[in-house]
Amino acid sequence: MEENSNLKKQQAEFQNKQKFNEAMQRAKACWTNKDYQSAGKFLTEALTLYPKDLDAREMAADILLLNGKVKEAGKEYKAIYDEDNTRGYCEEKYAKCVLQAYNTEEKIRQMEAELHGEAPKSDKTNGYMTFLSCLIPGLGRIINEDFLIGAIIFVLYLTFIGIAVNATDISEGIMSMFFKPTAIIADITWLGSLIDTLNLFIINKRK
């Protein structure tokens, strides 16, 4: 009885593999002929038999991307790469999906702004740029397109720091530089710029 049961399982597995390979071949043929709708149907059949097959999943993600479902495709590419990191092209496809999704959302924001009679503005609330803006005095204003104010803050900061460095005697030690009046003014300039940048971030976030 046990041998018969194992034999039936092997036969069923063999039949499933045959059906899977046939469905994949048809899907690839439809893909070559640019019949993506039919390709999708055959892929659904293949994935019903072997839902974890990475080749079938990647091809299905490609069809999602062609149908404009960028986020869904990107999510699947990432999942495939996480399972098999030798599939570097899936990582590349994921990166392209992320970029495409961002550009699409940015265009939608700009269109909505134009419909409301507002000048389209780029996303100034990016976390990385906010972090850099906090480190570099005046950069927050420059990103906010207040170029003159940003440049003045940056030049003032560099000027005061430069004076403090020149006024420091090596024999006094490096730490003495931070107690120079101009260094203190530079620190105040940086702190003011930091507060200003965070304020700009909050204002832009609310828009």
- Whole-model pTM: value is 0.50
pLDDT confidence bin for 156, thresholds 50/70/90:
confident
Share of the chain above pLDDT 70, in %: 66
Nearest to 182, CA basis, from 164, 169, 155: 164
Determine contact, residues 43/60, Cβ cutoff 8 Å. yes
Determine contact, residues 137/154, Cβ cutoff 8 Å. yes
The pLDDT tens digits of the residues spanning 94-104 come to 888 887 877 77
Using only C-alpha atoms, the chain has a radius of gyration, in whole angstroms, of: 29
CA 156 to chain centre: 35
pLDDT confidence bin for 124, thresholds 50/70/90:
very low
Determine contact, residues 29/58, Cβ cutoff 8 Å. no
Higher pLDDT, 121 or 187: 187
Say which residues have a Cβ less than 8 Å from residue 66's Cβ, sequence separation at least 6: 36
* Rounded average pLDDT over 59-70: 91
The pLDDT tens digits of the residues spanning 160-180 come to 777 766 666 555 655 555 566
* Rounded average pLDDT over 110-137: 59
End-to-end CA distance of the chain: 72
pLDDT confidence bin for 123, thresholds 50/70/90:
very low
Question: What phi and psi values does residue 116 have, to the nearest 5 degrees?
Answer: -90, 10
pLDDT confidence bin for 125, thresholds 50/70/90:
very low
Residue 54 has pLDDT above 90, yes or no: yes
**Can you give the pLDDT at residue 128?**
52
Q: What does each C-alpha distance from 114 to 82, 92, 117, 126, 203 come to in angstroms? A: 40, 33, 5, 21, 20
**Can you give the pLDDT at residue 76?**
93
Which domains, from first to last, does the chain contain? 8-115 (1.25.40.10), 127-202 (no CATH)
Of the candidate ranges 34-48, 79-93, 140-154, 164-178, the one whose mean pLDDT is the lowest: 164-178
- What's the rounded Cα separation, in Å, for the pair 19 and 193? 66
**Can you give the pLDDT at residue 172?**
60
